[in-house]
């Protein structure tokens, strides 16, 4: 059974970089699209981006200038870095697995982690 | 980017009601649409993939359909556990997008 678990600081100061890690157990990082999604309080789901083939990425254009997704296959982890954060980046952040082949869908999710941007 | 315009943003319904939620894509996307159910404090749950295929373990009262660039999620008889927020999601583009969400509340 595949399991995903987000980890990282729950509080980040404005203008700093938000860093989260998703640890994948029960499966390999190959083949699939490893994805970050967020939900600001009271708002809907927002797709942030994904990484696949151990390095190829696709990002939400509205966040692209600030986002980096990377993968560490030796630890079976992938990570999110979001720079120059503001209060608008306060959200529950989810990692998820996109099947990477048709029909594409998110079949496994982490439970989500709340990140608050505040001084 | 492909925009998914979802409606309504919220609705009130009673147990047993038939509920319909619609997403309109900004361009042709074939059947590259999924539907998720999201409850507070939990990860979203896949209901329908490829526009009309029911995910394993999901009750048959949920169904999906497509007409051109319009996609519909139908709950044939609303149950108490169905009160949640529902999202459509397109995977036609390498830049994935969600609809704005529909909150289904108890009438």
Q: Tell me if chain B has a CB within 8 Å of the CB of A114.
A: no
* Residue located via tokens 């696709």: A58
Nearest by CB to residue A44, choosing from B32, B95, B98, is B98
Q: Which residues of B82-94 are buried (b: 16+ CB within 10 A; e: fewer)?
A: bbbbbbbbbbbee
| The pLDDT value given to residue B3 | 97
At residue A29 the predicted structure's pLDDT band, cuts being 50, 70 and 90, is: confident
Is residue A53 scored above 90 in pLDDT? no
B46 contacts on A by Cβ (under 8 Å) = 105-107
| The pLDDT value given to residue B94 | 94
Q: CA distances (Å), A47 to each of B16, B45, B61, B95, B101, in order? A: 33, 15, 28, 8, 13
At residue A100 the predicted structure's pLDDT band, cuts being 50, 70 and 90, is: confident
| The pLDDT value given to residue B54 | 98
Is residue A27 scored above 90 in pLDDT? no
Q: Are B1 and A104 within 8 A, CB to CB? A: no
Q: State pLDDT tens for residues B17-57.
A: 999 999 999 999 999 999 999 999 999 999 999 999 999 99
Q: Are A61 and B95 within 8 A, CB to CB? A: yes
Locate the chain A residue with the closest alpha carbon to B43. Answer: A111
Q: Tell me if chain B has a CB within 8 Å of the CB of A58.
A: yes
| The pLDDT value given to residue B24 | 98
What DSSP string runs through B7-66?
Answer: E-SEEEE-TT--EEEEEEESS--TT-EEEEEE-TTS--EEEEETTTEEPTTS-TTEEEEE
- Candidates A3, A22, A42, A45: best to mutate against B (most CBs of B within 10 A) is A45
How many angstroms away from the CA of B52 is the closest CA of chain A? 11
How many angstroms away from the CA of A1 is the closest CA of chain B? 15
Q: Output the CA torsion A35→A41→A45→A51 (10° steps).
A: -10
Q: How many CA atoms lie within 13 A of A16 on its CB side?
A: 13
Output phi, psi for B79, to 5 deg.
Answer: -110, 160
Q: Contact, B105 vs B83, CB < 8 A? A: yes
Q: State pLDDT tens for residues B69-86.
A: 999 999 999 999 999 999
| The pLDDT value given to residue B106 | 87
Q: Are A111 and B42 within 8 A, CB to CB? A: yes
pLDDT cut 70: percent of chain A above it: 100
Mean of the per-residue pLDDT values of chain A: 95
């Amino acid at each position: 059974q595949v399991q995903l678990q987000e980890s990282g600081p729950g509080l980040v100061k404005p203008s700093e970089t938000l860093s989260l890690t998703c640890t994948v157990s029960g499966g390999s990082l190959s083949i699939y699209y490893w994805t970050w999604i967020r939900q600001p309080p009271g708002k809907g789901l927002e797709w942030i981006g994904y990484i696949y083939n151990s390095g190829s990425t696709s990002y939400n254009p509205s966040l692209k200038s600030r986002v980096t997704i990377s993968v560490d296959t030796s630890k079976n982890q992938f990570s999110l870095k979001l720079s120059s954060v503001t209060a608008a980046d306060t959200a529950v952040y989810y990692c998820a697995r996109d099947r990477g082949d048709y029909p594409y869908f998110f079949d496994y999710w982490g439970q989500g982690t709340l990140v608050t941007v505040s001084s | 980017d492909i925009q998914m315009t979802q409606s309504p943003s919220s609705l009130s319904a009673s147990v047993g009601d038939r509920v319909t939620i619609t997403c309109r894509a900004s361009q042709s996307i074939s059947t590259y649409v999924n539907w998720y159910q999201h409850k507070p404090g939990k990860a979203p749950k896949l209901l329908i993939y490829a526009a009309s295929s029911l995910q394993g373990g999901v009750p048959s009262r949920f169904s999906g359909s497509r007409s051109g660039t319009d996609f519909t999620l139908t709950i044939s008889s609303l149950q108490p556990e169905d009160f949640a927020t529902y999202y459509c999601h397109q995977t036609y583009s390498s830049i994935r997008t969600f609809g704005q969400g529909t909150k289904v509340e108890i009438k």
